[in-house]
Amino acid sequence: MTATLFNQSYSPTTGKSSSPGPVPVRKVVIVGGGSAGWMTALIFARSLIERGVEITVLESPTVPTVGVGEGSTPWLRGFFDSLGIEESEWMPACHATYKCGITFDGWSTKPGFERYFHPFASMLDNLTMTQFVHNAEARINGANLHAHPDRFFIAARLAAKKRAPKARENFPFDIWHGYHFDAVLLGQFLHRKALERGVRYKSCHVTHATLDDKGSIASVSTKEGETIAADLFVDCTGFAGLLIDKALHTPFISFAENLFNDAAVAIPSPLDGPIPSETVSTAFKHGWAWKIPLTSRFGNGYVYSTKFCSPDAAETELRERLGLLDSAVEARHLKMKIGRVTRHWNRNCLAIGLSQGFIEPLEATALLFIQQTAATFVEFLEKGDLSEEAHQRFNQRVNDHFEGTRDYIVTHYKTNTRNDTEYWRANAANLNLSDDLKKLYSTWMAGKSIAAGVSQQVIGKAYPVFSWYSIMAGMGIFPDPGDLRSPTPSEARYNMSEIDNLLDRSEVNYPDHREALTAMVPRRKDPSLQIYFW
Ligand SMILES: Cc1cc2nc3c(=O)[nH]c(=O)nc-3n(C[C@H](O)[C@H](O)[C@H](O)COP(=O)(O)OP(=O)(O)OC[C@H]3O[C@@H](n4cnc5c(N)ncnc54)[C@H](O)[C@@H]3O)c2cc1C
């Protein structure tokens, strides 16, 4: 199955080579046992262990993982599929739920646009996408047509009704869904899987790296007294960046001038009633809050800027919104370093995860970066090319993905119309935009199609065309909102009730979310029954 709506199509077989040849490394050491360390270990193991490469994960017994990161893009499905791990195995183990997309609530104040849904693509969207883009383009030219994205996408419907994005057996329209999961349980699950697949593990605290005469990493030393050499070192030490930053001093490009948030506070809350199949991202006074449903609880967190709000004030605002002001449940405060390193692959060191960079969690893209960086590196290794030119091509690819994603995230803030705090006003007034983004906005506001521009530019490498139309139309960004004219017959050629009808008929083929989650739990064998039938 290939989801055709994304410019990067995904196939479950990606990354597996049919005739494994030798690769130019024999020993890989991954420092860090968070999601980045274990995802990288599994992606590497799949291709490299059968080629005789030894892969070892070193994890500090004293430095905890970041412990957050509960939402994903649909790419995580490709990760598990490519490893041959069934949903029925990993989802219950990680208290995971399905994700149809994200609702953005309160980011715009424009009447009718206070809320919109950023959907994950579905095959059914092939039947409604043209109509959405057509109406949005007519609307930016002043025609009075319905252009809010929510009525055009099946995923928006399913999320609103708390249905699962898993069609019943006889309905052949798949949805490219994401997941929500408990980050700590996911780390433990991946750890177990990696060991099963031949990855080695050592609990030890790395104190420093020794460089060789060319400036590459020769070995790392541990507090426990060991010196560990390797051909390739992968830095998965999170924001610490022990190897890529502290040892190799790779320059870091901060995104602080266009993404202001640098902190978060997280508080769980009990699950009540049906289980939603979406993340909700609600605009707060100085940032936004996520609400993520797991099968065991909600994960909540407020992402904010310390320039505009203190950690105490952020915690109080989040507690108030959750009705947990007097609750003893503990809040976790986190700092975030927003930006990216210039070279994710520097000499014989590869940075993956928070050590390579982070673009705040608004679209839950961090695991996708981990996955793509690791999988792309395997591609390069399989070609056997570790030249300087290969380094440059690799870094360009990863950097383009970072920049394109950053621009999409920046657009959420730039297009906000809130006026209630200095934080939102500063975001709307922010002029630190990439050239691609400036061009996209001016094309849109001139009433022209942005489709071709998105596909040709770096911004199109991160998000597909329909995501750009969804955000612009969903936030109600139109050149002349107060002065709409009647559409021409050609502009009005699509009938909204036909679209409603199509989605009404389709929606019933997707089960209730809780029902889908329950049905998936692997059946346990009842020992008494086994004995009886024996
Ligand atoms: C507030 C917030 C919300 C987020 N939400 C999302 C989301 O919704 N979706 C998403 O995809 N991502 C999200 N992320 C990002 C996501 O959490 C991370 O990308 C992911 O968990 C990977 O982290 P990591 O493995 O790079 O680092 P960490 O989890 O910090 O792991 C670092 C590892 O390095 C080890 N280590 C550190 N120092 C040493 C040493 N000296 N010696 C040996 N080992 C060492 C530690 O023991 C640990 O095992 C979020 C991040 C934040 C901050």
pTM above 0.75, yes or no: yes
Which pLDDT score is estimated for 529?
33
Measure the CA–CA gap between 289 and 301, rounded to whole angstroms. Answer: 5
Q: Would you state the structure tokens that stand for residue 350, as one six-digit string?
A: 């590869």
All residues at 6 or more sequence positions from 334 whose CB lies less than 8 Å from its CB, including other chains: 66, 68, 263, 264, 265, 266
Measure the CA–CA gap between 363 and 346, rounded to whole angstroms. Answer: 27
Q: Whose CA is nearest to atom 35 of ligand 1?
A: 32
Could you report the per-residue pLDDT of 125-141, keeping only the tens digit for each?
Answer: 999 999 999 999 999 99
Could you report the per-residue pLDDT of 424-445, keeping only the tens digit for each?
Answer: 999 999 999 999 999 999 999 9
Which pLDDT score is estimated for 413?
98
User: Which run of H or E residues covers position 186?
Assistant: helix 183-196
Q: Is 430 exposed, middle or buried (0-12, 13-18, 19+ CB in 10 A)?
A: middle
Measure the CA–CA gap between 335 and 327, rounded to whole angstroms. Answer: 23
Distance of CA 29 to the CA centre of its chain: 26
Measure the CA–CA gap between 446 and 442, rounded to whole angstroms. Answer: 6
Could you report the per-residue pLDDT of 188-225, keeping only the tens digit for each?
Answer: 999 999 999 999 999 999 999 999 999 999 999 999 99
Listed residue (327, 331, 328) closest to 299, CA to CA: 331
Listed residue (165, 2, 156) closest to 99, CA to CA: 165
Q: Would you say 52 and 78 are in contact if contact means Cβ atoms under 8 Å apart?
A: no
Q: Which amino acid is it at 122? A: S
Could you report the per-residue pLDDT of 511-527, keeping only the tens digit for each?
Answer: 999 999 998 755 444 43
Q: What is the mean pLDDT of the chain?
A: 92
Measure the CA–CA gap between 452 and 80, rounded to whole angstroms. Answer: 33
Listed residue (246, 226, 454, 227) closest to 341, CA to CA: 246
Measure the CA–CA gap between 263 and 64, rounded to whole angstroms. Answer: 18
Give residue ranges with CB within 6 A of ligand 1. Answer: 31-37, 58-60, 63, 65-66, 68-72, 183, 205-206, 236-238, 240, 242, 264, 301, 334, 336, 353-355, 361, 364, 366-367
Other Cβ atoms closer than 10 A to 129? 18
Least confident window among 416-430, 456-470, 492-506 = 456-470
Which pLDDT score is estimated for 521?
59
CA of 61, closest atom in ligand 1: 47
> Which DSSP letter does residue 243 get?
I
What confidence category does residue 456 fall into, taking pLDDT thresholds of 50, 70 and 90?
confident
Q: Could you give the C-alpha distances from 203 to 60, 441, 524, 530, in angstroms and in order?
A: 6, 50, 33, 41
Q: Would you say 140 and 481 are in contact if contact means Cβ atoms under 8 Å apart?
A: no
What confidence category does residue 462 fall into, taking pLDDT thresholds of 50, 70 and 90?
confident
CA of 67, closest atom in ligand 1: 29
| Cα 305 to ligand 1 centroid, rounded to whole Å | 20
**At 350, is the secondary structure helix, strand, or coil?**
strand
* Residues of the chain above pLDDT 90, percent: 87
Q: Whose CA is nearest to atom 37 of ligand 1?
A: 237
Between 220 and 17, whose confidence is greater? 220
Which pLDDT score is estimated for 20?
73
Q: How many CA atoms lie within 13 A of 93 on its CB side?
A: 16
Measure the CA–CA gap between 488 and 138, rounded to whole angstroms. Answer: 9
| Cα 465 to ligand 1 centroid, rounded to whole Å | 30
Measure the CA–CA gap between 504 and 46, rounded to whole angstroms. Answer: 42
Q: Would you say 72 and 364 are in contact if contact means Cβ atoms under 8 Å apart?
A: yes
| Cα 372 to ligand 1 centroid, rounded to whole Å | 16
Q: Could you give the C-alpha distances from 168 to 67, 146, 455, 496, in angstroms and in order?
A: 34, 30, 33, 26
Catalytic residue among 16, 99, 161, 214: 99
| Cα 130 to ligand 1 centroid, rounded to whole Å | 39
**At 268, is the secondary structure helix, strand, or coil?**
strand
Active site includes 383? no
CA of 352, closest atom in ligand 1: 26
| Cα 229 to ligand 1 centroid, rounded to whole Å | 24
Strand partners, 288: 283, 303
Which pLDDT score is estimated for 302?
98
Strand partners, 253: 340
Which pLDDT score is estimated for 14?
43
The rounded radius of gyration (Å) of the Cα atoms in the chain is 24
Between 16 and 307, whose confidence is greater? 307
Q: Whose CA is nearest to atom 19 of ligand 1?
A: 366
188, 237, 305, 341: residue to mutate for ligand 1 pocket, most atoms within 8 A of CB? 237
| Cα 367 to ligand 1 centroid, rounded to whole Å | 10
31, 42, 63: residue to mutate for ligand 1 pocket, most atoms within 8 A of CB? 63
